[in-house]
Amino acid sequence: MHNLVCIKHTPDSAATMFVENGLVSWGDAPMVVNPWDEYAIEEALRAKDKFGGSVTVLTMGPESSKEALKTAIAMGCDHGILISEESMESYDARITSLVIARAIEKLDNVQIVFFGKQAIDGDTGLVPMSVAHGLGWTGFSYVAELSGIDVENAHISLVRLLEEGKQSCSGKLPAVISVVKEINEPRYPSFVGIRKASKAEVEVLTLDDLELDDKITSDNNGSLTWSEIQEIPRKSTDAELLDGPNMNSIAAQLVEKLVEDKVI
Amino acid sequence: MGSGVWVYIDHFKGNGLAASWEAISVAKSVASQLDTSVTVLVFGHQTDELVSEVATYVSDTIIVCDDHTMEDFRIEPYGALAAKLYQNYKPHIILLPATTRGRDLSAFLSIDLGVAVVADCTDVNIEEGCTQVTRPVYAGKLNARISLDNLHPQIISLRPRAFPKVGECDGMAEIIEVEPVMTESDIMVKVLDYTAADYDVSLVDANIVVSGGRGVGGPDGFDPVRELASVLGASVGASRAAVDSGWIPYDHQVGQTGKTVSPDLYIACGISGAIQHQAGMRTSKIIVAINKDVEAPIMKLAHYGVVADLFDFLPIFTAELKSRFEK
Distances (CA, A) of B318 to A247, B31, B286, B298: 12, 45, 18, 21
Among residues B101, B75, B220, B278, which one has the least CA distance to residue A133? B75
**Residue B113 · residue B35 · CB < 8 Å:** no
Under 8 Å CB-to-CB from B114, ≥6 apart: which residues?
A94, A221, A222
| CATH code of B276's domain | 3.40.50.1220
- For residue B172, the tally of other CB atoms under 10 A from its CB is 7
Interval B238-268: pLDDT, tens:
999 999 999 999 999 999 889 999 999 999 9
Q: Is the dihedral of CA B149, B151, B155, B161 positive or negative?
A: negative
Whole-complex ipTM: 0.93
CA atoms within 13 A on the CB side of B24: 26
Residue A214 in this model has a pLDDT that exceeds 80: no
Domain final position from B186, B213, B230: B186
**Residue A50 · residue A111 · CB < 8 Å:** no
**Judgement on whether residues B93 and B221 belong to the same structural domain of the protein:** no
3-state helix, strand, coil in chain A (%, to 5): 35, 30, 35
Confidence of residue B306 (pLDDT cuts 50, 70, 90): very high
Q: Residue B222: which H helix or E strand, with range?
A: helix B222-232
**Judgement on whether residues B210 and B240 belong to the same structural domain of the protein:** yes
Rounded-to-integer distance, Cα B24 and Cα B11, Å: 13
Set of chain A residues whose Cβ sits within 8 Å of the Cβ of B321: 255, 264
Of A124, A166, A171, the CB nearest to B120: A124
| CATH code of B58's domain | 3.40.50.620
Q: What is the mean pLDDT of chain A?
A: 92
CATH domain A2-217 topology: Rossmann fold (3.40.50)
Domain count for chain B: 2
**Residue B310 · residue B290 · CB < 8 Å:** yes
The reply to whether B170 falls in a domain is yes
Domain final position from B186, B216, B234: B186
Rounded-to-integer distance, Cα B251 and Cα A26, Å: 29
Does any CB of chain B come closer than 8 Å to the CB of residue A115? no
Percent of chain B with pLDDT over 70: 99
The reply to whether B197 falls in a domain is no
Set of chain B residues whose Cβ sits within 8 Å of the Cβ of A97: 107, 110-111
The reply to whether B195 falls in a domain is no
Q: What is the pLDDT of residue A86?
A: 67
The reply to whether B230 falls in a domain is yes
Higher pLDDT, B197 or B24: B24
Residue A175 in this model has a pLDDT that exceeds 90: yes
**Judgement on whether residues B147 and B242 belong to the same structural domain of the protein:** no
Among residues B323, B317, B320, B269, which one has the least CA distance to residue B296? B269
Of A128, A225, A257, the CB nearest to B304: A257
Arithmetic mean of pLDDT, A242-251: 95
Of B253, B257, B265, the CB nearest to A263: B265
Apex A260 CA angle, B162 and B293, nearest 5:
80
Confidence of residue A87 (pLDDT cuts 50, 70, 90): low
Residues in chain B: 327
**Judgement on whether residues B177 and B207 belong to the same structural domain of the protein:** no
Q: What is the pLDDT of residue B1?
A: 54
Q: Where are the domains of chain A?
A: 2-217
Residue A235 in this model has a pLDDT that exceeds 80: no
Arithmetic mean of pLDDT, B76-94: 97
The alpha carbon of residue A8 is apart from the nearest alpha carbon of chain B, in Å, by: 13
Q: What is the pLDDT of residue B181?
A: 97
Percent of chain A with pLDDT over 70: 94
Does any CB of chain B come closer than 8 Å to the CB of residue A134? yes
Of A17, A223, A227, the CB nearest to B147: A227
**Judgement on whether residues B134 and B245 belong to the same structural domain of the protein:** no
CA atoms within 13 A on the CB side of B164: 6
Rounded-to-integer distance, Cα A130 and Cα B111, Å: 6
pTM over 0.90: yes
Of B115, B147, B305, the CB nearest to A222: B115
Higher pLDDT, A258 or A22: A258
The reply to whether B193 falls in a domain is no
CB–CB contacts below 8 A, A to B: 258
Q: Which domain holds residue B283?
A: 203-326
**Judgement on whether residues B157 and B269 belong to the same structural domain of the protein:** no
Confidence of residue A219 (pLDDT cuts 50, 70, 90): low
Does any CB of chain A come closer than 8 Å to the CB of residue B46? no
Question: Residue B301: is it exposed, middle or buried by C-beta count within 10 angstroms (0-12/13-18/19+)?
Answer: buried
B110:A232 CB<8 A? no
Q: What is the pLDDT of residue A237?
A: 76
Q: Is the dihedral of CA B229, B230, B234, B236 positive or negative?
A: positive
Does any CB of chain A come closer than 8 Å to the CB of residue B276? yes
A227:B307 CB<8 A? no
Q: Which residue type does B306 have?
A: V
Query: Could you say which residues from 158 to 197 on chain A have a Cβ atom under 8 Å away from some Cβ of chain B?
Result: 160-172, 180-182
Helices and strands in chain B: count of H runs, count of E runs: 9, 18
